[in-house]
Amino acid sequence: AVGSVLQHCICSHSPIALTREQLSRGSEFHETIRKKLMGETISVNNEAITASMKSLQWIWPLLSSTIAVESHIFHPELCYRGITDCIAKFKETPVVIEWKLSDKPKPQLQDTYDAPVQVSAYVGAFNYDNNFTFQINHGLVVVAYSNGSPADAFFLAPKHFDVYWKIWLEKLNKFYNLERLHTDHNMPEV
């Protein structure tokens, strides 16, 4: 259960349920971004994915020094793990990037639901991961649009993490308390 804590805490409490088609499109979107960042050939047959890459055109020149893509991270003290979308420099600042694909405009950070909480959790784990020799204090939530409209990007500074890290810890605590209740008393989740 520990291996899926981050996904469970974030995804199981999302206000929207994703269809199989949306999940498949999201996977293709992330794979296309991975290929772009790794300098691999991109071949896309999905209009929404092609449009989303157009949506991201203004972001690419601001990214440099890709450090990791789809990288596993683990927080040894809080015992959670996850897979970051990307760790790179945005305008020369190291950031954890969370890529989102949307059919609807999301012009404000709160429109991205738990994305800043997710980035905070990844930054927390990254900063405790012995595989990395430096700290990250910033994040970036990027929302690409399936209609090709310019992406929205939200830069998260340390002051944002003060807020979102606390929310993450509350979610994590709730998860562990539920797990303990189910384990200790063999009670099903309601």
* Domain boundaries of the chain, sorted by first residue: 2-185
pLDDT tens per residue across all 190 residues of the chain: 334 456 555 555 555 556 887 788 889 999 999 999 999 999 888 999 999 999 999 999 999 999 999 999 999 999 999 999 999 999 999 999 999 999 999 999 999 999 999 999 999 999 998 888 999 999 999 999 999 999 999 999 999 999 999 999 999 999 988 877 655 555 565 5
Query: Which residue in the block uniquely carries the two structure tokens 């981050």?
Result: 6
What does the alpha-carbon distance between residue 92 and residue 90 come to, in Å, rounded to a whole number? 5
Q: At what angle do helices 20-38 and 47-55 cross, to 10 degrees?
A: 50
2-185: CATH topology is Lambda Exonuclease; Chain A (3.90.320)
Query: pTM, whole model, 2 decimals?
Result: 0.85
Distance CA 25, CA 28 (A): 5
Q: Are 23 and 7 in contact (CB under 8 A)?
A: no
Burial class (CB in 10 A: 0-12, 13-18, 19+), 84: buried
